[in-house]
Amino acid sequence: MATDINRTVKKKQNTVELANQISQILQEIRFGSIEIIVHENKVVQIERKEKIRFDVR
């Protein structure tokens, strides 16, 4: 029973950490995309692609 509770708490902590990382990326990126890679129900990678645009007139 205690191990089930520990597992649940750890999953919630991991979810909060992932949400914080994604939120941080969203606040920093101006143009681009974020891709979240999932393998066997787990986030294994977050890819950030950023564009730099120049205003040439």
Tens of pLDDT along 5-40?
Answer: 777 777 777 889 999 999 999 999 989 999 999 999
Cα torsion 7, 13, 19, 23 to 10°: value is -170
Where in the chain are the domains? 2-50
How far is residue 12 CA from its own chain's centroid? 14
Cβ-Cβ contacts under 8 Å for 45 (sequence gap 6 or more): 36, 37
Phi, psi values for residue 17, rounded to 5°: -60, -45
Phi, psi values for residue 53, rounded to 5°: -110, 140
- Verdict on whether the full-model pTM lies above 0.75: no
